[in-house]
Amino acid sequence: MTSKISRRRETASMSRKPQPKTKLLPMAPALCRRISMDNHLTLEVLHSRAAGKCHFVSLAQAMYITRFLCEAGYGVARDGLFCEADEAIVRRHGTAVDTGVWQVDGEAYALLCEVLTLHDQQLAITPVFELLRANDRLQKLGTQG
């Protein structure tokens, strides 16, 4: 599987313009820890029923960034993880709209923990330019919907 990821990275890097040296490296470890802490605390707030829509949206964005980075070859998710997490988020979103309570249940919590753990690993190894690319893709997705 590693060779598959390496080939994907090599093919992708040949078709892209050169990046400044600072964008070729991963983020500083302190920034990775801050983002990780923000994401995990947001999940805990959602699990505790003390959340709002902004917390929900923030975790959905983290989930999509994680998915995009996996597609780019940074990290490997188990089969079905993103489909399961997406279904759980859609289900909980519908409930939240109906009830006004922005909360994740135990199943969604476990799935999002798995996604965030993968995202933490990605933040430590992914070059900044790939993180920016994933964010751009997320922004385009948001303007289309």
pLDDT in tens, the chain (145 residues): 444 455 455 545 545 677 788 899 999 999 999 999 999 999 999 999 899 999 999 999 999 999 999 999 999 999 999 999 999 999 999 999 999 999 999 999 999 999 999 999 999 999 999 999 999 999 998 787 6
Q: Where are the alpha helices (DSSP H) in 18-127?
A: 21-24, 29-47, 53-71, 81-99, 106-125
Cα 126-130-118 angle, rounded to 5 deg: 45
Cα(79)–Cα(81) distance, integer angstroms: 6
Cα(77)–Cα(1) distance, integer angstroms: 12
Instruction: State both tokens at 22.
Output: 């600072």
